[in-house]
Amino acid sequence: MQRHATAEMRIHALGPARMILAVAVAHGGRRSERLEVEQGGEHIPFVELVDQYGSRLHEADIEAGDVTIRYAVEVEGLAPRATTDDLDMLTFLRQSRYCESDALHDTAHEHFDGLEGQALLLAVREWTAANIRYEHGSTSTEDGALAVLEAGRGACRDFAHVMIAMLRARDVPARYVSVYAPELDPMDFHAVVEAFVDGEWLVIDPTGLAPRHSFLRIATGRDAADAAFMTTIGGPIEMISVAVTAAASDVPFDDHAEPIPLR
C-alpha cells in the first residue's frame, strides 16, 4: 500500500513562543518527507524528539508574527505491529485528564458487564456512537468524556475520549491515537482508539468516518493532551487556517467489526 498525506497550518503568534508540532507520521517506510516552518520569509530550524511510542515531535522557537507550517509525506508499505510492556498496561488503564474512567466505572459496568475481548470493543463502539452525535466544533479543548456525554455531541477526539474512558473502566488498556485518515470526510487530522485485546493493540474508529486499513499513525498517548498537533509554550497564538489531505493507493472496505492493528 502507498499512502501520502499533507498538512499546512497558518498561525499568528502574539509573542515569542516555543512551538511543538505533532504532524509527522510515526513509523518507517517513508519514501519522501518534508517539514518546513517559515516565518518572515525565512525557514525556522527545528529539533526532532521521539517519544516511547514512536511519536515524532518537532520543536521550534518562533517570534511574534505570522508562521506557516507545511508537511508532506509519502509512505510505502505497512508499519510493524505496535509493541507493549508492563508500564504501558498500567499507563493506559489509569484515568487521565480527558478520559475520566473512574467517574464512569458504574456506567461501564451497567452497560458492558459480561462482555470481553472483541465483543466488548464492538459493544462500546456502538454505545458511544449511539450516545454522541458527531458535530465538528461543538466542544472545547477543556471538555472531557463526562462533559461530552452530558452534551450528547462532539468531534472525533470526543468520541475517542468516551470510548477510551469506558474501556479503561472495564479494565481494558486503551489509548488515543492521532492519524492521517484517507477517505475521511470532512478531511482533517483524525482521532481514533487503540485497545489492547487478546495480546495486541487493535484500532477502533468510534466515529466510523474512515476505513481503518489506511490510517497513518501520527502520535499516541493517554488522551488528546498527549497527541495535539500543535502545542505552544510562551506567547499565545491565533490559529488562522488548517488544511489536511490524505490518500492511499488501496483502501479496502471496512465494516468496522474486523479486529485489525494500526499499521
Q: Of 224, 219, 200, 177, nearest to 89 (Cα)? A: 200
Phi, psi (rounded to 5 degrees) for 83: -100, 170
pLDDT of residue 140: 87
Q: Residues of the chain whose pLDDT is less than 50? A: none
How many residues comprise the chain? 263
- Does one domain contain both 51 and 131? no
d(Cα 205, Cα 160) in Å, to the nearest integer?
8
Please report whether residue 238 resides in a domain.
yes
Instruction: Give yes or no: residues 110 and 212 share one domain.
Output: yes
Q: Does one domain contain both 29 and 156?
A: no
- Is residue 263 in a domain? no
Residues 126 and 140 in one domain: yes
Q: Are 55 and 227 in contact (CB under 8 A)?
A: yes
Q: What is the pLDDT of residue 137?
A: 83
pTM of the full predicted structure?
Answer: 0.96
CB 238 within 8 A of CB 11: yes
My answer on whether 132 and 204 are in the same domain is: yes
**Cβ atoms of residues 19 and 60 within 8 Å:** yes
Q: What is the pLDDT of residue 29?
A: 76
208 and 101 within one domain: yes
Q: Are residues 56 and 100 in the same domain?
A: no
Task: Find the CATH number of the domain harbouring 180.
Answer: 3.10.620.30
Domains held by the chain: number: 2
pLDDT at position 30 is 84
User: Domain for residue 251, yes or no?
Assistant: no
Strand order in the sheet with 230-234: 47-50, 56-62, 17-21, 230-234
Same domain, 63 and 120: no
pLDDT of residue 136: 86
Q: What is the pLDDT of residues 122-153, one digit of tens each?
A: 999 999 999 999 998 888 889 999 999 999 99
56 and 166 housed in the same domain: no
Structural domain including 184 reads 86-228
In a domain, 253, yes or no: no
User: 98 and 72 in one domain?
Assistant: no
The residue among 260, 58, 88 whose CA lies nearest residue 168 is 88
Query: Do residues 60 and 123 share a domain?
Result: no
Same domain, 27 and 99: no
The domain that holds 71 is classified in CATH as: 2.60.40.2250
